[in-house]
Chain A
Amino acid sequence: MVKISFFILLTLNLISNNVYANSLWHTIDINDPNLTVEQAAQQCAKSSMYAPYSLEEWCEKAYSMGSWRSLLYIGYYTGDGTRYVNEVKKHAQADDVEAIKILAWIYSNGSFVERDLNKSINLYTDYLSHKKNKSLTKHQLVTVQKALYNIYKELELWQDASKSLQYIINNENNNMEKKFFRDEKIYISERLSK
């Protein structure tokens, strides 16, 4: 009887590994004492694609280990991003510069909050001028200027859009992107001349 039970368990285990484990989604023991916060956060993000039935478990685990960003996926899954937004706000108020940037992103796209482009501009500006951000790389600065450019363009703030655009053109390394923004410059110049 014991042997038969063991055989059944082994077979079920093999089937379940066959169904759930491969390079896209790793079967990891959530209670593994050596589990890192990075692994838990990756499992949380990937579960939204490959294993939504274990998303809450993984994202709560990642959150309990310190990855507050993992609450984003719970927000997507449940449709309620209140916890995520509150957590981002808490960290932004505590001077976490990455949280300030994420909050700017949240207000720019209106996920889980009412869209507020002016608030987003202020937050991106705070991020850029923050004393902790003196060592930002060009790539990081360009990324934020692109976000600002899109907002300025939508609000038809052509002077500000033009400034962001010039920064992007001067500092973007990707030629394809550079070409796109150079073409945008023509569009913005036309608006400025009106």
Chain B
Amino acid sequence: MNKINMDVNYKTMAGHARLVMLGESNHNTAGYKYEAIKAIKQLKAAGFTHFAIEMLPQSMKEQVAFYQRTGKGFEVIQRYFNDNWAWGYLVPYAYGELVKAARTAGLKIVALDMTLEQMASLDAACSSDNAEAGICKDTHTKRNDSWTNNIVSIIKESNQHRVVAFMHRWHAVEAASYQEGIDTLIQKQGIHNVVFVDFIGGMLCLTEKDCRKGSAEDTPLKQQYFYREGFPYKSAIKSFQVHIPEKRVNSNGELQW
């Protein structure tokens, strides 16, 4: 295990990367979204230009562009999170705050994913056994392909473009033998300056009162905010883990630490 560093600095972690993937170790911890807000503010200051997000489908591109341009129409975006990304207490609200923060920071918001209908149809077309045997690509892998193409097209559009992408960790890197991660897919398209930051720890709350501790660190570190280099599983790129303290998010969306 690499040494921990209490000075969590995203600019340092990003270095000269063209793409920084911020990965949630689960979608249920509201604190990860607030950590992403901290990250994108620092990364914007470091020269990043785009914010790509798994939690919005490409089919909402126009609504997102309208919100970006005018500051109006956010309720459509928030409704989408409420309807489809309510994985815990304050989670959809926190996703909304993240999108707002990206706009305020001046990052161009990119809706990354397929629609839920497309995913359902792909789910039906390829079983996990067939995917594992290499007979077909499962939904997860096809989503990774699609996101990679989307991100690559932004990066190749201008040498000034730098992307922060927010997603689940198992999209950023390979989860199973048959699910190639964006870390390797993107290198095949000639993009090599890529960094992965994995969010761990925090508190997972299903309701205001039903919370579970989310840190696997030794006791002295559970309440600490720190980062360290490396990722415990396979990663083909420079990787970091940012640990957020095992504390809950307040009902107004603010963190307690």
Residues of chain A whose beta carbon lies under 8 Å from any beta carbon of chain B: 18-20, 22-25, 38, 41-42, 45, 48-53, 69, 72, 76, 79, 98, 101-102, 105, 109-111, 137, 139-140, 143, 176-177, 180
Contacts and interface: CB of A to CB of B under 8 A. Distances in A.
Contact of B232 (A20, A42, A50, A79): A79
Given A19-B86, A50-B27, A176-B188, 13 more contacts: A20-B87, A23-B116, A38-B128, A41-B128, A48-B175, A49-B26, A53-B28, A53-B204, A53-B212, A69-B176, A98-B133, A109-B174, A139-B134
Contacts of A25: 87
Nearest to A48: B170
A177 B28 CA distance: 35
Given A38-B128, A76-B233, A137 B116 contact: no
Nearest to A47: B26
Given A48-B170, A72-B176, A176-B188, A111 B84 contact: no
Ranked 7 nearest A-B pairs via Cβ: A109-B234, A23-B116, A140-B134, A105-B177, A180-B188, A52-B26, A143-B134
Contact of B116 (A24, A38, A48, A51): A24
Contacts, number: 83
Interface of B: 26-28, 83-84, 86-88, 116-117, 119-120, 123, 127-129, 132-135, 168, 170, 174-178, 188-190, 204, 206, 212, 216, 232-234
A23 B120 contact: yes
Nearest to B116: A23
14 contacts: A20-B87, A22-B86, A22-B116, A23-B117, A48-B175, A49-B27, A49-B168, A53-B28, A101-B177, A102-B132, A109-B234, A176-B188, A176-B189, A180-B189
